[in-house]
């Protein structure tokens, strides 16, 4: 079966689009996805290490919570739209961190309350430019003036990766996730008449799920950050992502 076609906005409004191609999918793949997310990316680790001791920060779209404990001298609150991923974060952290299920456009936190924020590989899941800019603006509103937000988004320029996206390709894509499910297959023992002699063998079944991404072209994240009212103080490219550190002014 080929990759499904993306519906137009006229057919699927942004919220419905994101529900189908982002939120529902992550809830389904959460445990399997979590197993692949365990090593902090260097620039994110560096950013967290540079924050002042005892600062308070947000991880918007925290996934399985892998960044919440990187710097033990910070107090961080993690949020994610996926209940499945928040369940993984709670399990992985042993309930040591404050977590909540929240939409990145409707965070429940007090404005101007936090010293910094991170949002790693999240903004690209919003399905229109307006919503992506609004998400950056909304997260910035939660941090104090002078506080900084680190954002990562998938890049269009991925020629050297196995995915191979490049200039000229579509920027709005459905990316496959091969979900592995373990099921039990019954094998009869030597005495077929004896039900107690049946043995169970684990069998792996694969199912492909598709997640929506907007692939950011070089300079696009900077443009979004400026339109959101922030000041980009540093930016770059790492691991097939464009990243930017955005200061609230």
Domains along the chain with CATH numbers? 14-156+216-247 (3.40.50.150)
Would you state the pLDDT for residue 188?
42
Would you state the pLDDT for residue 194?
42
- Residue 11 sits at φ, ψ, to 5 deg, of -85, -45
* Contact indicator for 151, 243 with CB cutoff of 8 Å: yes
What is the C-alpha separation between 96 and 4, in angstroms, rounded?
40
Would you state the pLDDT for residue 208?
95
Cα 219–chain centre separation: 21
Please compute the mean of the pLDDT values over residues 19-23 and round it to a whole number. Answer: 96
Q: Which residue has the tokens 């079944």?
A: 205
pTM of the model: 0.88
In what side-by-side order are the strands of the sheet with 143-154? 98-101, 75-80, 56-60, 114-120, 143-154, 241-247, 231-238
Query: For the segment 24-42, what is each residue's pLDDT rounded down to a tens digit?
Result: 999 999 999 999 888 899 9
What is the C-alpha separation between 177 and 170, in angstroms, rounded?
19
Query: For the segment 82-140, what is each residue's pLDDT rounded down to a tens digit?
Result: 999 999 999 988 778 899 999 999 999 999 999 999 999 999 999 999 999 999 999 99
Contacts by residues 73-76 (CB-CB < 8 Å, ≥ 24 positions apart): 74/48
- Residue 129 sits at φ, ψ, to 5 deg, of -60, -40
pLDDT at residue 199 above 60? no
What is the C-alpha separation between 169 and 192, in angstroms, rounded?
57
Residue-averaged pLDDT of the chain: 90
What is the C-alpha separation between 154 and 238, in angstroms, rounded?
10
């Amino acid at each position: 079966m080929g990759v499904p076609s993306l519906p137009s906005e006229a057919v699927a409004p942004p919220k419905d689009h994101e529900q189908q191609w982002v939120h529902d999918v992550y809830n389904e793949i959460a445990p399997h996805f979590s197993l692949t997310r365990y090593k902090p990316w260097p620039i994110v680790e560096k950013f967290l290490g540079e924050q002042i001791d005892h600062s308070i920060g947000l991880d918007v779209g925290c996934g399985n919570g892998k960044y919440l404990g990187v710097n033990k001298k910070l107090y961080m609150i993690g949020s994610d739209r996926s209940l499945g991923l928040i369940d993984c974060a709670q399990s992985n952290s042993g309930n040591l961190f404050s977590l909540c299920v929240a939409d990145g456009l409707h965070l429940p936190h007090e404005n101007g309350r936090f010293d910094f924020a991170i949002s790693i590989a999240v903004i690209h899941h919003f399905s229109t430019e307006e919503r992506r800019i609004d998400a950056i603006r909304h997260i910035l509103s939660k941090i104090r003036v002078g506080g900084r937000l680190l954002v990562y988004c998938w890049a269009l320029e991925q020629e050297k990766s196995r995915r191979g996206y490049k200039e000229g390709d579509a920027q709005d894509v459905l990316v496959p996730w091969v979900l592995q499910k373990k099921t039990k297959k019954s094998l009869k023992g030597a005495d077929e008449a004896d039900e107690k002699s049946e043995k169970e063998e684990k069998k792996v079944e694969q199912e492909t799920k598709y997640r929506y991404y907007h692939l950011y072209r070089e300079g696009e994240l900077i443009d979004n950050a400026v339109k959101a009212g922030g000041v980009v103080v540093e930016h770059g490219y790492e691991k097939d992502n464009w990243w930017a550190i955005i200061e609230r002014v």
